[in-house]
């Protein structure tokens, strides 16, 4: 069984959870009559600081999910199994949670440093996963 599929599903669920929080916030605002449905421009901060951080954290997930998905699904389709690849997939998910948590906790220097660390860990893992994938195909 491909255990790298589980962190991909978890990453996807995390992304969906964040967007549901964003949608819930917007829905409440529209139904309460405090905002119109077109008053949530993506490029301008709107809402509370926490809401905006959730919004940005969701967008960060959306940026990384396709890369992660392509790597995991291509690896699975290759039929090759590798414990290191599976471990890296779990590390990616953990780093995503770290990055999101740091994003939601504030905008101070330490928050940003931890957030960046989570980001870098993910992309180091993506690179290692790509190397394993290419070696397994060749």
pLDDT of 1 > 70? The answer is: no
Give the domain ranges of the chain.
4-136
What was the pLDDT predicted at 42?
78
Domain 4-136, second-level architecture: Up-down Bundle (1.20)
What was the pLDDT predicted at 44?
85
CA angle in degrees (0–180, nearest 5) for 55-61-65: 150
Which band of pLDDT confidence, cut at 50, 70 and 90, is reported for residue 100?
Answer: very high
Q: Helix 5-31 and helix 83-105: axis angle, to 10°?
A: 20
- Percentage of the residues of the chain whose pLDDT score is greater than 70: 99
Burial category of 34 from C-beta neighbours within 10 Å (exposed 0-12, middle 13-18, buried 19 and up): exposed
Give the span between the Cα atoms of 3 and 7, in whole angstroms. 8
**For 16-32, what is the mean pLDDT?**
95
- Percentage of the residues of the chain whose pLDDT score is greater than 90: 81
What was the pLDDT predicted at 2?
58
**For 98-124, what is the mean pLDDT?**
96
């Amino acid at each position: 069984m491909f255990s790298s599929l589980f962190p991909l599903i978890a990453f996807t669920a995390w992304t969906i959870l964040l967007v549901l929080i964003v949608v819930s916030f917007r829905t409440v605002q529209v139904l309460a009559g405090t905002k119109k449905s077109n008053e949530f421009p993506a490029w301008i901060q709107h809402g509370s600081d926490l809401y905006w951080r959730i919004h940005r954290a969701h967008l960060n997930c959306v940026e990384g999910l396709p890369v992660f998905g392509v790597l995991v699904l291509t690896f699975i389709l290759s039929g090759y199994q590798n414990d290191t690849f599976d471990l890296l997939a779990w590390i990616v998910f953990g780093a995503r949670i770290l990055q999101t948590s740091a994003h939601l906790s504030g905008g101070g220097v330490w928050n940003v440093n931890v957030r960046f660390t989570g980001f870098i860990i993910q992309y180091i893992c993506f690179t290692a996963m790509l190397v394993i994938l290419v070696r397994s195909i060749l």
